[in-house]
Chain A
Amino acid sequence: MGLSGSGKSTLLRMLNGLSEPTAGRVLYDGQDLTALSASELREVRSRHISMVFQHFALFPHRSVLENAGYGLEVRGVPRAEREARAAEALELAGLKGWETSWPDELSGGMQQRVGLARALATDADLLLMDESFSALDPLIRRDMQDQLLDLQKRLKKTIVFITHDLNEAMRLGDRIAVMRDGRIVQNGTAEDILVRPANDYVASFIQDVDRSRVLTAGSIMDAPDGAAGVPDGAATVSAETPVAELFTPFSRSGAPVGVTGEDGKPAGVVTRDRLLAALAEPATDATDAPDATDATDATDADVTAVTEVTAGA
């Protein structure tokens, strides 16, 4: 995530070799992509890494089905198999029944679904998405985000998603790398960035973010053995509950709320004071964000930082 000109798209294109890094390596599954020959690189692109574009980049002279099957066609998959897999991918993307249409007959959201289906059809392990939802209007964008999260749960792909919209990044990303002037200035989870912004730049960025929707109970809780114990009969929530949903229990009583972990056992407790503190503007002193300082200071090529993102996702 970063503003335009921060180098996100360039970085993304280095991951599949569309742009060549002037220095450094791109490691994918232990393989250095920058060392591959042109044909080996094409092989990686057609089998392992696929891409979704900002302006959809659908081929206007091909039907929806032919567009979805493009990657397979290039790879030389026989027609019958290719069409079956393309139709399957279109169904995943929610476009069943539109196979014989032409791209120019579809709305923007539907066109991007075709773009998504095209990327899914090759069954690549890594999806690169370059501001893929930026050209869509907000309602459609939200739909697409939900669908992407849903697909991700089912298909378990690694996705590198480029965006300039922090809310989108917070919504979609397990980990977020914030870029500025060709560098990654902070690399961490949404909460890391919100709670412990690495520097003023990141802090100014997150001003407009609705923190109550991004922060979860788990991220702001204190240990259960802390100063305030969990009173009997107090409300409990799961660790993933957004902070916004804690307002209701706190409005009923001032008592702390218990937080349970994935196993259902008590994991911590959130007090009203803690909640208010978490929603307040974050402090930007370095001690609050040790990870981020590391990332800022990293002098290694940017690419290394990003491979870490993909590996961790």
Chain B
Amino acid sequence: MPRINLGGWAESAVGWLQSHLSWLFDAVSTVLTGMYDGVGAALGAPDALLMAGILAVIAWWLRGLLAAVLAFAGLALIDSFGLWDRATSTLALILVASVITLALAVPLGIWAARNKRVSAVLRPVLDVMQTMPAFVYLIPGVMFFSIGPMPGLIATIVFSMPPGVRMTELGIRQVDAELVEAARAFGTTPRDTLLRVQLPLALPTIMAGVNQVIMLALSMVVIAGMAGAGGLGESVYAAVTQVDIGGGVESGLAVVVLAMYLDRMTGALGKRVSPLGRRAAAKSAAATGPAPKFLSYRPGTAVATVGVVVLALVAGGMHLAQGDGDRRSVAAGKNVGQGQRVKLGYFPWDEAVASTYLWQNVLERRGYQPDVKQLDPGPLYTALAQGQMDLQFDSWLPTTHKQYLDRYGDKLSDLGSWYGPTSLELTVPSYVKGVDSLADLKGKGAQFGGKIVGIESSAGMMAKLNDKVLKEYGLEGEYEVVSSSTSTMLAELDRAIKKKEPVVTTLWSPHWAYGTYDLKKLKDPKGAWGEGEQIHAIGKKSFAKDFPRVAEWVKNFKMSEKDLSSLEAAIQKGGKGKEKASAAAWLDARPGLVDKLAPVGA
């Protein structure tokens, strides 16, 4: 069987689209980002509890008092977790994605219902859309639309469209053929048949599709968080990569609250908007007899609208009164940045978080407006190469991030190393006696179950471990390297240490695990791991031209292991969501450091 180079074709197709249709992607991006920003601003503008009140009034209108109380409690819970802003941006993402999805899916479903050929063509396309792992188009999405909400939005739309199309088609096809014939027999035009007979009768099914679309959109936001979509997805993703169980549970719970709210509300909306649904509701109400009055009371549409408007006005008033007193004043003579925006990207590795938030504080005190964004390495390098991001601090060279430099090297600028050398190693807990170097592992395979707990199989160190290190020490065959993910590896390490079981894992320095657990780096007398790496700051190609002063400061930036670990510890201790404040406190505790990092004047 000859090799069919489908992957290569896909790659060149993506490249071609990127270079020839960028205007189209830009236009789409402008429209969608505009919608997202608008909806996000509207949802995020009121005070959290007021907004929760508005959503609770809607719940009251759609389902009754109990639903309203539960909705308010759930939303207040999100606020108390400190996840409100993220929840509103997730909500905005879902709403925009769902609206666009439905605007595409319903007409497609109608078309498919009326034309067998369209239906036959659509079916496999929908299958692909629904089952193709989202990561596959998330990265090209970044290439076309830059990081931010767009790739997440696109991924969400692609993923959640199929049920919308299918349920619309099904709903219309399910309408009794005799009814459609009756409509025709009275001289109804095809358009009126659709509007007066088919759509009203298909509405309950279509609303079930809407409900599914929204649920799938919600499940997609977590994945979209990896491409910088922000919101709860980013929190979940960050919590997972940092083995932050508490944070994971909290942000996961916030997703659940949103999911339940949206699910119940769209379900009830289906009953409210469709005549058949109203009819069924009236029938069941008549059948069950009167329920307690205050529980079943639902305000009429007018009353509910008034409630929402009043709350919104209160929110608007508070917003005005509050003003924007949040602006940080920059000391006179040190305002180098003059409000220039700098886009800093990082992936959730501890030294990246530490250095990025450190510099966010430093640049802010020099009058810049640094925006900080968390991304996966792939999207981040892509964004830098395209100039959509300005700077990132955590480039491990020459090995770990070699692939990205090979690909984008000529579109990036290296601002030099600020930390090094790093080291890669295999590590065991210090209670594992008699194993101090890689050579000691030989013959002890049974003790460790023949397993070395690895990280992502794509990581450079995994290839090195398999190809070189195991061979040098004659460990192949005896040990199998289990690839998983960094967070799984850390969770396994944590589990083993709690049970005092022997375990050997891949690890690297600097890493907070060395501060948290009592670990032993296995010595590498043969130098199989090779030289340590340097951590570089990498900017976009024109970084030095756009930000000459910052480029100068970053080139001179150096950090010792002691400083870095104390900064990492401070941020770890400060907790999730407070990284910036923790870094600021760490910085304030070292007077003169800002001037040393970012000198101004002669």
Contacts and interface: CB of A to CB of B under 8 A. Distances in A.
B200 interface: yes
A50 interface: yes
Interface string B171-199: 00000101101111111110010001100
Contacts of A75: 187
Given A18-B181, A51-B182, A53-B178, A59 B187 contact: no
A16 interface: yes
Contacts of B188: 42, 74
Contacts of A46: 186-187
A133 interface: no
A122 B181 CA distance: 17
Interface string B251-291: 00000000000000000000000111001000000000000
What are the nearest 9 A-B pairs in CB distance?
A: A46-B187, A57-B182, A45-B187, A61-B275, A42-B187, A51-B185, A71-B186, A57-B178, A74-B188
B278 to A, nearest CB: 9
Contacts of B279: 60-61, 102, 104
Contacts of A60: 201, 276, 279
17 contacts: A16-B185, A18-B181, A18-B184, A46-B187, A53-B178, A54-B178, A57-B176, A57-B182, A59-B179, A59-B182, A61-B201, A61-B275, A70-B186, A74-B189, A102-B279, A118-B186, A122-B186
A44 B186 CA distance: 9
A55 B179 CA distance: 9
A102 B286 CA distance: 14
A53 B181 contact: yes
A74 B176 contact: no
Contacts, number: 66
A53 B180 CA distance: 12
Interface of B: 176, 178-179, 181-189, 192, 196-197, 200-201, 274-276, 279
B105 to A, nearest CB: 22
Contact of A74 (B178, B186, B200, B274): B186
A81 interface: no
A211 B188 CA distance: 44
A45 B186 contact: yes
A43 interface: yes
Contacts of A45: 184-187
A55 B176 CA distance: 11
A215 B535 CA distance: 109
A85 B318 CA distance: 57
B186 A57 contact: no
Contacts of B189: 39, 42, 74
A71 B274 CA distance: 22
A73 B187 CA distance: 10
A55 B187 contact: no
A53 B183 CA distance: 11
A107 B537 CA distance: 80
Contacts of B178: 53-55, 57
A37 B243 CA distance: 70
Contacts of A47: 187
Contact of B197 (A44, A59, A122, A128): A59
A74 B187 CA distance: 7
Contacts of B181: 18, 53, 57
A156 B206 CA distance: 45
Contacts of A62: 275
Interface string A30-73: 00000000010111111100110111010111100000001101
A43 B176 contact: no
A111 to B, nearest CB: 13
A51 to B, nearest CB: 4
Contact of A71 (B176, B187, B197, B200): B187
A128 B201 CA distance: 25
Interface in A86-134: 102, 104, 118, 122, 128
A43 B200 contact: no
B182 A53 contact: yes
A50 B176 contact: no
Contacts of A51: 182, 185-186
A10 B270 CA distance: 38
Contacts of B274: 61
A46 B189 CA distance: 11
Contacts of A16: 185
Most chain A CB neighbours (cut-off 10 Å) among B182, B184, B200: B182
A102 B279 CA distance: 9
A257 B307 CA distance: 87
A61 B185 contact: no
B192 A50 contact: no
A122 B185 CA distance: 12
Nearest to B200: A61
Contacts of A43: 187
Nearest to B184: A18
A18 B197 CA distance: 17
Contacts of B179: 57, 59
A62 B196 CA distance: 10
Nearest to A71: B186
A104 B183 CA distance: 19
Most chain B CB neighbours (cut-off 10 Å) among A47, A59, A104: A59
A71 B186 CA distance: 5
A74 B184 contact: no
B488 to A, nearest CB: 53
Contacts of B200: 61
A156 B184 CA distance: 25
A114 to B, nearest CB: 12
A128 to B, nearest CB: 8
Nearest to B279: A102
A182 B276 CA distance: 39
Given A53-B181, A57-B182, A61-B201, A74 B192 contact: yes
Contacts of A73: 196
Contacts of B197: 59
A122 B186 CA distance: 9
Contacts of A54: 178
Nearest to B178: A57
Contacts of A74: 183, 186-189, 192, 196
Contacts of A44: 187
A291 to B, nearest CB: 32
A262 to B, nearest CB: 37
A104 B279 CA distance: 10
A50 B276 contact: no
A50 B275 contact: no
Contacts of A41: 187
Contacts of A59: 179, 182, 197, 201
Given A57-B176, A75-B187, 16 more contacts: A18-B184, A18-B185, A42-B187, A42-B189, A45-B185, A45-B187, A53-B178, A57-B181, A57-B182, A59-B182, A61-B274, A62-B275, A70-B183, A74-B187, A74-B192, A118-B186
B310 to A, nearest CB: 34
Contacts of B275: 61-62
A62 B182 CA distance: 14
A128 B185 CA distance: 10
A263 to B, nearest CB: 42
